[in-house]
Amino acid sequence: MVCLLLLTALASGPVPPDRRPAEYQRLSEEMARMAKVGNWPAVERSFVRLEAMGFPHTFKVLVNAAYSAREIGDIALAKERLHAARTLEADKAVDEWLWSIQQEYAPLMVAADLTDNYRLIPGAMPFSPEHRRAVEFAVEKVEEDGRFDGLLPKGTYTFEPFDESAPRPSFTFDLTHERPSVDLRTHPGPTKRDRRKRARIDKKMAREQGG
């Protein structure tokens, strides 16, 4: 019965607030309270739970979710959620936010097998806390997953091997509105073997750097 109601709701387009389940209303209100006090991890957790319910979101839920994505440093995800909010309601603040993202950020895609041990290095760390979080997010994604595909503050970045003597090329990008793309992967995603080998490489490098 619940599945039938859900399918009916999704098929009929946007769901009026008074027709969303009580649990959706409760979670969205909890999400708003957490956003008000700046508890962004809790905001994101609430949004994940709302997503799992499968109902179209309200404007306010999407905007709060955009704020939580920005705090994580995932500006591409924040932009995606803002565009979704913009389809529901015209809002000057959302338009200005989208405009600032367009002016301040540029897309980049870099990827390598984890065993290649590449890293992403900004030419200079930004002073803006928002920009700094975006750079840190990208750097961590490359270190953890061997890839990044998203938005970064405009500027210069280098994608290079950790080992400077390695016979592998380095790539430097001056990000503007173009989307540089370097995919050095020999297979779509890291395997368990890749991760184990990467862990051994990291431990060896840590020992060498420690003297």
Looking at the fold, whether 86 and 48 belong to one and the same domain comes out as yes
- What is residue 7's predicted lDDT score, i.e. its pLDDT? 38
Where in the sequence is the domain holding 175, given as residue range(s)?
A: 104-209
CB–CB of 180/111 below 8 Å? no
Q: Is residue 60 part of a domain?
A: yes
Q: Is residue 61 part of a domain?
A: yes
Q: In 10 A of CB 71, how many CB atoms?
A: 19
- Find how far residue 203's CA is from the centre of its chain: 28
Looking at the fold, whether 86 and 114 belong to one and the same domain comes out as no
Q: Is residue 97 part of a domain?
A: no
Looking at the fold, whether 76 and 119 belong to one and the same domain comes out as no
pLDDT along the chain (211 residues), means of 10: 39 55 91 94 94 92 96 96 96 97 96 86 94 96 91 95 83 90 81 72 67 52
- CA distances to 36, 155, 167 from 201, rounded to whole Å, are 43, 30, 16
Looking at the fold, whether 133 and 55 belong to one and the same domain comes out as no
Report angle CA 11, 16, 18 to the nearest 5 degrees.
125
Q: Which amino acid is at 111?
A: A
Q: Is residue 98 part of a domain?
A: no
Looking at the fold, whether 130 and 52 belong to one and the same domain comes out as no
Whole-structure pTM value: 0.80
For the chain, the domain total comes to: 2
Query: Which is it for strands 147-153 and 181-183: parallel, antiparallel or unpaired?
Result: unpaired
Looking at the fold, whether 46 and 78 belong to one and the same domain comes out as yes
- CA distances to 32, 93, 142, 154 from 40, rounded to whole Å, are 10, 19, 23, 25
Here the contacts of 76-82 (C-beta below 8 Å, separation 24 or greater) are 76/107, 76/149, 76/150, 76/151, 77/150, 79/151
Looking at the fold, whether 109 and 197 belong to one and the same domain comes out as yes
**DSSP-assigned states of every residue in 26-58:** HHHHHHHHHHHTT-HHHHHHHHHHHHHHTPPPP
- What is residue 113's predicted lDDT score, i.e. its pLDDT? 86
Looking at the fold, whether 81 and 111 belong to one and the same domain comes out as no
For the chain, give the number of residues: 211
- What is residue 199's predicted lDDT score, i.e. its pLDDT? 74
Looking at the fold, whether 139 and 172 belong to one and the same domain comes out as yes
CB–CB of 119/143 below 8 Å? yes
